[in-house]
Amino acid sequence: MDSANDLIEFYSTGCVQSAAQSWWELYQADAQILRQPDERANILFCIEECSAQENWDWVAQFWNLTEDLYNLGYWNEYEQVDRACLAAAQALGNADMQAAIHGELGWLAIQRGEFQRARAWIESSQRIYARLGNVRGQLIARRYIATIAMAGQEWSSARTQLEELLDSLRALIETGDPEWRAFGVRQSDIIHDSLGIVLQQLNDYARAEHELQLGLAGARARGPLAVATSLLNLGKLRLRQARNDEAEKLFAECWATCRAHEFRAIGAEAQFYLAQLARARGEKHTALELARDCWRVYQALGMTTSVQKTAEFIATLLDS
């Protein structure tokens, strides 16, 4: 370094770039560092510093860790990284990335029960994808819109949307293109699960069973989070069918899978159903313990609708 100005330049940019490189290499070597609160805080600080220096390429690079943050249930950090990466995508003129992040923020809003905000994000994502001619992105956005219909208990509308999506995906699969086929199969597996949920609400249990079994079969090829989600949905069907022993086994298997992998959101939902079954057996203390655990997880994730639902369940237990 030849001057004080060079030194200032190094500290203002070089150190930040070096830190970003180091954190990225650590994450690539072991994604489990995201389970450590101090490590997550350090990575977030690094992203903030990169943003402050307008080092957008490095900020955008950290977008690759958001899937792990979401799956592990660190949703506040997930949102912070997504928003920083959205600013980077805008600065870099990366419209595909902007559309994807709009969709991700919309999906997060769905999980938190913020449906008006979710629709705004997802429709924005859909518009960008349409402008770009991105068929995959448009199909994913349509799936998210159908999920909002499900959340609003618009079951007939959701069924129509999901069935139309399956038709669109089937056409992609039948093109014979390997990439389109892989995309179509993956999305179809997810939609089979969603359609199974809708059909059980419409009391079409036979077809719901068929769709949920298709979803579970596909989930086994996608990994433990997908399996846990499918087990949860199949457990809900068993509960509606008053097959409580079978439902409990499915919820317990889902919860065990979630505990093994720290999938907090799905695990909490499985616990909530186990709490309901415990109450039905007259096991008030067990039901309270399970429900309070759920409440703490929902509170940490910012899932306001689930927080309220669980609080009401706890209050009912305490009054009984």
* The predicted structure's pLDDT at residue 14: 62
Q: Which domain holds residue 80?
A: 1-91
C-alpha angle 181-185-189 in degrees, rounded to nearest 5: 175
* The predicted structure's pLDDT at residue 116: 95
Tokens of 152: 């609003």
**DSSP H/E element including 243:** none
Percent of the chain with pLDDT over 70: 96
Burial 205-241 (b: 16+ CB within 10 A, else e): eeebbebbebbbebbeeeebbbbbbbbbbbbbbbbee
Contacts with 141 (C-beta within 8 Å, 6 or more apart), sequence order: 103, 122, 123, 125, 126, 129
| Arithmetic mean of pLDDT, 98-104 | 98
Whether 277 maps to a domain, the answer reads yes
**Per-residue pLDDT band at 12 (split at 50, 70, 90):** low
pLDDT at 18 over 90: no
Whether 109 maps to a domain, the answer reads no
| Arithmetic mean of pLDDT, 304-314 | 94
* The predicted structure's pLDDT at residue 214: 97
pLDDT at 9 over 90: no
Whether 116 maps to a domain, the answer reads no
Domain boundary among 91, 114, 130: 91
| Arithmetic mean of pLDDT, 139-152 | 96
Mean pLDDT of the chain: 92
* The predicted structure's pLDDT at residue 311: 97
**Unique residue bearing structure tokens 């060079």:** 6
| Arithmetic mean of pLDDT, 189-210 | 97
* The predicted structure's pLDDT at residue 16: 75
* The predicted structure's pLDDT at residue 74: 93
CA 262 to the chain's CA centroid: 13
* The predicted structure's pLDDT at residue 108: 96
| Arithmetic mean of pLDDT, 107-121 | 95
* The predicted structure's pLDDT at residue 10: 47
Higher-confidence residue of 126 and 17: namely 126
| Arithmetic mean of pLDDT, 184-204 | 96
CA distance between the termini of the chain:
74
**Helix, strand, coil percentages for the chain (3-state, nearest 5):** 90, 0, 10
CA distances 37 to 41, 43, 44, Å, are 6, 10, 11
Write down the pTM of the prediction. 0.87
pLDDT at 2 over 50: no
* The predicted structure's pLDDT at residue 30: 86
Domain boundary among 91, 126, 155: 91
pLDDT at 47 over 80: yes
Whether 79 maps to a domain, the answer reads yes
pLDDT at 124 over 50: yes
Whether 214 maps to a domain, the answer reads no
Whether 281 maps to a domain, the answer reads yes
* The predicted structure's pLDDT at residue 276: 97
Whether 174 maps to a domain, the answer reads no
Contacts with 83 (C-beta within 8 Å, 6 or more apart), sequence order: 105
Total domains in the fold of the chain: 2
Tokens of 139: 């199909």
pLDDT at 198 over 80: yes
249-303 per-position pLDDT tens digit: 999 999 999 999 989 999 999 999 999 999 999 999 999 999 999 999 999 999 9
220-246 per-position pLDDT tens digit: 999 999 999 999 999 999 999 999 999
Whether 320 maps to a domain, the answer reads yes
pLDDT at 5 over 60: no
Domain boundary among 58, 91, 124: 91
pLDDT at 8 over 60: no
159-180 per-position pLDDT tens digit: 999 999 999 999 999 998 999 9
